[in-house]
Structure 1
Amino acid sequence: MSKQALPVLAAADGCRTTLTAPLDADTAATLAIGFKALADPVRLRLLSLIASAGGEEVCVCELTPAFELSQPTISHHLKVLRESGLLTSQRRGTWVYYRVVPQMLQQLSRVLALDS
């Protein structure tokens, strides 16, 4: 993520401030998809469960019992997380295994870090 200098802005009282934007427009658009996916409590919990596996993959059959939702609903939420770039998946027979994409989580974390 590259920093871009914004134009110098003149405040109403005459002081001048230079602002910098840590994200370019394309990066912001990409990361917004991830943040939007995480705005749902079920998806946030799913990502948390998968991330707690320490980089190991997690079968959808292990995730479904943690929720009072149907398996198709869980699969839909996992699809949203996968399409947003937060998860990868691999089908083996009838089961699908999910793993977090650490680089995407790191990018989202950097945006929220106070010192970025």
Structure 2
Amino acid sequence: MTDSLTLEVHDLEVPVLTGIYSEETHLPQPLRISISAELDCPVRFAPDTPLSSSKNYLDLKRAATELPAGVHFTLIEGVADHICGRLFDADPRVARVTVRIVKLAIAEHGESIGITLVRARS
């Protein structure tokens, strides 16, 4: 079995231009985004292991919060795909990304309605 490291950032609330219905297309919608990224990892993490042996988890946060300005994503699946692509492009050690997105505006009783996209590096 090969070791792996999973970095996680959960429950970011991000306003995103997304949707297919007329009431959704003119204003950003609040999305709750969670990301997990699996990395190849070294054999051991010693106390003095440098950050370059892992990945800055803020890179995951930025992939979700720094979306292209003015771009309307028809589907939230497109938002998730964009996040995956950005993480793969930024670091060849990222082997697999999971993005979970919940559409907060359509919840009526606190339920979570959304998608989970899992992409492996091809």
- TM-score band, normalised by the shorter chain? under 0.3
TM-score, length of structure 2 as denominator length: 0.26
Greater share of helix: 1
The higher radius of gyration belongs to 1
Structure of higher RCO (CA pairs closer than 8 Å, 6+ residues apart): 2
